[in-house]
Chain A
Amino acid sequence: MKGNTITRAHLAEAVYQEVGLSRNESAELVDTVLDEVSNALVRGESVKISSFGSFLVRMKGERIGRNPKTGEEVPIKPRRVLVFRASHVLKDRVNKGAESKVPDNQGADRQS
């Protein structure tokens, strides 16, 4: 249902169920995987996970921002931001999940 939040602990549990490792080691592996993805991104590499999506590092130029509270103009320095582009597989799964109440008649509702 809507409103649940999945955390590192849930991912560790999934790893634990999948492979015969201890819970502790499963949790460490989740951390290692996320760290290695982060490290690659910090080096400026993009990270492409097939059938999930890509993490891309983009450079943003300097621009003038505004403090919404005071209206004061402040320069926003050039910076690197991370963007995530979901793969089609992920987009499709997310939409199928949302429509799962609809009876399953394949073929008729195939799109995107």
Chain B
Amino acid sequence: MTKSELILRIGELNPHLYHRDVERIVTAIFEEITAALARQDRVELRGFGAFSVKQRDARKGRNPRTGETVAVEEKVVPFFKTGKELRDRLNNRAEAAPRPAAAPAAAPLPGQPGKEPGSGQ
């Protein structure tokens, strides 16, 4: 599933919203997570998982092709830890389906939105 497929799906579930607004909503969510991580904040989404950043010290690396030693500066990397509920669902435990996501458009969705031509946005 790509971002544009996700947007289509959310649009199908919310037929009263303009496509453009659904796009803005989905973008706003990931943008908010990104901004939080850029501030080194933690993002905790119960049932889904938690995003955080980890500090990596400077180290001596090696160019694998030439064997040459290079200095790698210290850096911050994004990190994600899967939440318990999602981890369990991935392994078919907790079959108590968390919420049947079919509220308004319970009708004709075969789960998989068709590939859109030019969905690369």
Separation of A21 and B91 alpha carbons in the complex (Å): 36
Interface string of B67-109 (1 = CB under 8 A from A): 0000000011111101000110111000000110100000000
A36-59 interface with B by 8 A CB criterion: 36-43, 45-53, 55, 57
Q: Which residue of B lies closest to A16 (CB)?
A: B28
Q: Give the residues from 3 to 56 in chain A that come closer than 8 angstroms, CB to CB, to chain B.
A: 3-8, 10-11, 14-15, 17-19, 26, 29-43, 45-53, 55
Complexed CA–CA distance, A34 and B30 (Å): 11
Dominant SS at the B interface?
Answer: mixed
| Contact of B10 with A32 in the complex, beta carbons under 8 Å | yes
Contact of B78 among A4, A30, A53 (CB under 8 A): A53
| Least distance between B13 CB and chain A CB atoms (Å) | 6
A36 adjacent to B101 (CB under 8 Å): yes
Task: State whether B32 touches A10 (Cβ < 8 A).
Answer: yes
Tell whether, in the assembled complex, residue B36 and residue A19 are in contact, meaning their CB atoms are under 8 Å apart.
no
Min CB distance A76 to B, Å, is: 12
Residue in contact with B9 in the complex, picked from A36, A42, A51, CB distance below 8 Å: A36
What is the number of residues of chain A that contact chain B, defined by CB distance less than 8 Å?
58
| Smallest CB separation, B75 vs chain A (Å) | 6
B34 touches A93 (CB 8 A): yes
B6 and A97 contact, CB distance less than 8 A: no
Contact A57 B34, CB 8 Å, known A35-B98, A38-B48: no
If A15-B25, A19-B25 touch, whether A97 touches B86 (CB-CB below 8 Å) is no
Interface set of B (CB-CB < 8 Å, partner A): 1-3, 6, 9-10, 13-14, 21, 24-26, 28-49, 51, 53, 75-80, 82, 86-87, 89-91, 98-99, 101, 111, 121
| CB pairs A–B below 8 angstroms (18 shown) | A7-B45, A19-B21, A32-B13, A33-B25, A36-B1, A36-B13, A49-B6, A50-B121, A81-B87, A82-B82, A82-B86, A84-B49, A84-B78, A84-B79, A94-B40, A95-B76, A97-B76, A98-B75
B-contacting residues of A (Cβ < 8 Å)? 1-8, 10-11, 14-15, 17-19, 26, 29-43, 45-53, 55, 57, 79-84, 86, 89-91, 93-98
